[in-house]
């Protein structure tokens, strides 16, 4: 894992293509109209900043979230934090070796992004392609907060997006159980056994409830 802070060059890791296009919009309006979009016509909206387009990027692990004044963008090869007002890159988290992101989710109220990635490997045949490594990243500075391992059930999970974050917890699949850990510390909060012969699919976390799709 590599985290670089401030003055990051515009390119990603070697052999990777440029960042997928991102756009920030701002509404400029007068105090007299109360910033209403349907006011007297004095309001305007335009592009404040954007990033180079990359249509060849893999779709896995992609996402974008706003946490305070930081816009966090996740891709298969890295997670990057931008100043939401200027578009300046402030940090970058790069998975180790040849590993890549399978899924990403975030608890923006606690400024934590939870990334699921596959295993590291010196060459493609040796690479562990199972998406069982979970990494929590501070969305303000890009530092790693904790790591955890997911178990691989038999039969396999329906999809890589069975990890969710919200309401102060991250929900993980471990040993045929759904386990909730504190989203900032990784400490255990609770666990729930899955019904027999059920295959877990997508989960979603809110402030007071957790939803899970089982098949």
Is the residue at 78 inside a domain? yes
Residue 190 in tokens: 């609770």
CATH number of the domain where residue 138 is located: 2.40.128.630
Q: In what order do the strands lie in the sheet with 144-149?
A: 101-107, 112-117, 133-138, 144-149
Is the residue at 151 inside a domain? yes
In whole angstroms, give the CA distance from residue 193 to residue 195. Answer: 7
Partners of residue 80 on adjacent β-strands: 73, 92
Residue 2 in tokens: 């590599």
Is the residue at 172 inside a domain? yes
pLDDT in tens, the chain (215 residues): 555 554 444 444 444 433 444 444 444 333 344 445 455 566 778 888 887 766 666 677 788 999 999 999 998 889 999 999 999 999 999 988 878 888 899 999 999 999 999 876 544 554 556 788 999 999 999 999 999 988 765 555 555 567 899 999 999 987 778 899 999 999 999 998 888 877 777 888 888 888 888 87
Is the residue at 118 inside a domain? yes
- Dump the DSSP string for 42-107: --EEEEEEE----TTS-STT-EEEEETTEEEEE-SS-EEEEETTT--EEEEEE-STT--EEEEEEE
Q: What's the pTM value of the predicted model, to 2 decimals? A: 0.73
Is the residue at 175 inside a domain? yes
Local structure of residue 21 (DSSP, 8 states): P
Is the residue at 8 inside a domain? yes
Distance of alpha carbon 180 from the chain centroid: 17
Is the residue at 48 inside a domain? no
pLDDT of residue 99: 84
């Amino acid at each position: 894992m590599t985290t670089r802070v401030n003055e990051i060059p515009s390119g990603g890791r070697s052999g990777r293509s440029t960042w997928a296009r991102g756009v920030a919009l701002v509404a400029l309006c007068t105090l007299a109209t109360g910033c209403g979009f349907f006011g007297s016509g004095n309001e305007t909206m335009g592009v404040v900043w954007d990033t180079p387009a990359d249509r060849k990027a893999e779709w896995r692990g992609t996402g974008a979230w706003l946490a305070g004044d930081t816009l966090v963008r996740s891709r298969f090869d890295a997670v990057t934090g931008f100043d939401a007002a200027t578009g300046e890159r402030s940090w970058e988290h790069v998975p180790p070796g040849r590993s890549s992101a399978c899924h990403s989710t975030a608890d923006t109220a606690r400024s934590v992004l939870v990334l699921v990635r596959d295993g590291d490997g010196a060459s493609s045949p040796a690479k562990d392609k199972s998406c069982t490594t979970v990494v929590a990243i501070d969305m303000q500075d890009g530092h790693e907060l904790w790591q955890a391992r997911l178990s691989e059930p038999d039969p396999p999970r329906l999809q890589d997006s069975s990890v969710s974050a919200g309401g102060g917890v991250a929900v993980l699949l471990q040993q045929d159980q759904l386990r909730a850990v504190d989203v900032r510390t990784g400490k255990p909060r609770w666990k729930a056994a899955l019904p027999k012969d059920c295959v877990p699919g997508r989960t979603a976390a809110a402030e007071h409830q957790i939803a899970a799709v089982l098949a």
